[in-house]
Amino acid sequence: MIFSALFNLASVASVAFAAADCTGINAVAPQCVSQEALHYRDFFYIGGRYVAGAAGNLTYDQLYVEKLTPAAGVNQSKPVVLSHGGGTSGVVSHNRKGFASHFLDYGYQVYIIDQTSVGRGSAEDLDDYVMRIGSTAEITEKGFTAPELTNAYPQSQQHTQWPGSGVKGDSVFDAFESTFIPLTSNLTIQELSMRSSGCQLLSLIGPSFLISHSIGALHPLLLSNDCPALVAGNINLEPGNIPFQSYVGNTTSSVGRTSARPWGMTNTHVTYEPAISDSSELTYELVGDDTPAKRSCYMQTGTIHKLTEIAKVKYVALTGSASPHITYEHCVIDFLEQAGVATEWIKLADKGIVGNGHFGYLEKNSPQIAGVVHEWIQSNC
C-alpha cells in the first residue's frame, strides 16, 4: 500500500515535471531538469596587478576563469577555452545544452572566461575601463535573432534556427536579452590586459584550442601573436574583427561602416614582417563591389606586411548561412591570407547545416555546429 502510494505520487510528479514549461527564463524553476552535461566546477582568477589608489591597493586586469571537468573524466589531449563576444559573458540563456556541455560530452577539459572588465571579470579600474551598453532589444532582433524581419541582406531570409520568434515578449528572446551586459569602449586597454592574462592562463593549463565568438575573436588572435606555442588552434565562430572596419549592421542599413582596428584585425600592436612600429605604416585600400549580399573589404597595398607570429597558429572561421557575417567574413579570410596566414573557412551550409544567424551556438542546431568544431580539432591535434 505504502509502496503503491509512493509510486503513484512519483508518477504524478513525473508527469508534472514533463508538462512544465522550461523554455527561456522558466528553466530556473525547481521542476525543470538541467540539460547540461554532468561535470565538476572550479573557478579562479589569473593575471592582474596591484595599483595604488587613494583608498589602498586595487587589483586591475584580472581574468575570470571557470574550469569544468567532465564527471566521466577527461579523454582529450588538449583543453578548449571558450571566449564570449561583445556585450555578453560566459553564459547561455536557455535550458538546453550549451557549447561547454557539448565539449564536456566529447571528453574535453573546458575553460570558460569572462573577459577582463566584463561580467565576473569587472575591473576596479573605473577611469580606464569606460563602459557602454551591450545591446538593446531592437539591435538584438534586427542583427541576431530575427534578421529576416528587417531583410537588410538577402541571406537573412534563410534564417530558421532561432528557438522562438526572436522578438521581444518571446520567453527565449527575453531570457537571451537579459544576458547582455555593459562592455568597455576602451578596447585598447582591454586588449592589453587580455594579452597578459591570457598568456598566463595558457602557461598554466598548457597548449589549448581557443574557441571564440564574434568580437571575442580579437583575443585569440593576440594570444596567437604573443604566445603561439600555447595556442593549439584558433577557432572563430563568426569572427567580428573585420580588418580596419566595423559594419554598422542591421540597426540602420546593411551598407554602413565605421573605421576600426588600426593594426588590421586588432587595436594594439601585432608583429608584422617587414616590421613596423606604428599602425600608420600599413597602407590599404577598399577592394571589391559593395552590395548587401557581399561587402567590400580593405586589403593591404604597396608593401605587404606578413603576420609572421600569428601565422604559426592554425586558424579557422565558421559562418552561418543566414548571418550578416556571411556577407563580409571573406574580408577576414582574404586579409589573413594576404598577410601569410593559412586559413580555413567553414561555411556551415557546406556541411549541411543551414539557417543559422550570428548566435548559431545558441540556436536549435547548435549540437551539429559543436560537432563540426570537434571534428576540426580532431583533425588538427
The C-alpha angle 303, 247, 323, rounded to 5 degrees, equals: 115
Instruction: Check if the beta carbon of residue 35 is closer than 8 Å to that of residue 95.
Output: yes
A 10 A CB-CB count for 372 gives 18
Instruction: Check if the beta carbon of residue 278 is closer than 8 Å to that of residue 262.
Output: no
Q: What is the DSSP letter of 23?
A: S
Q: How many residues does the chain have?
A: 381
Q: What is the DSSP letter of 196?
A: H
The x, y and z cell numbers of residue 147, run together, are 534578421
Among candidate residues 53, 60, 61, 119, the one with its CA nearest the CA of residue 86: 119
Catalytic residue selected from 89, 212, 214, 254 = 214
Cα–Cα dist 343/328, whole Å: 16
DSSP 204-270: HH-SEEEEEEGGGGHHHHHHHHH-GGGEEEEEEES----TTEEE-GGGT-TT-EEE--TTSS-SS--
Instruction: Check if the beta carbon of residue 208 is closer than 8 Å to that of residue 314.
Output: no
Helix ranges (DSSP H) in 206-325: 218-226
The x, y and z cell numbers of residue 7, run together, are 509510486
Cα–Cα dist 184/133, whole Å: 9
* Active-site residue flag, 214: yes
Q: Residue 379: left (phi > 0), alpha (psi -120 to 50), or beta?
A: alpha
Cα–Cα dist 279/259, whole Å: 13
**Max Cα-Cα span within the chain:** 88
* Catalytic residue ranges: 214
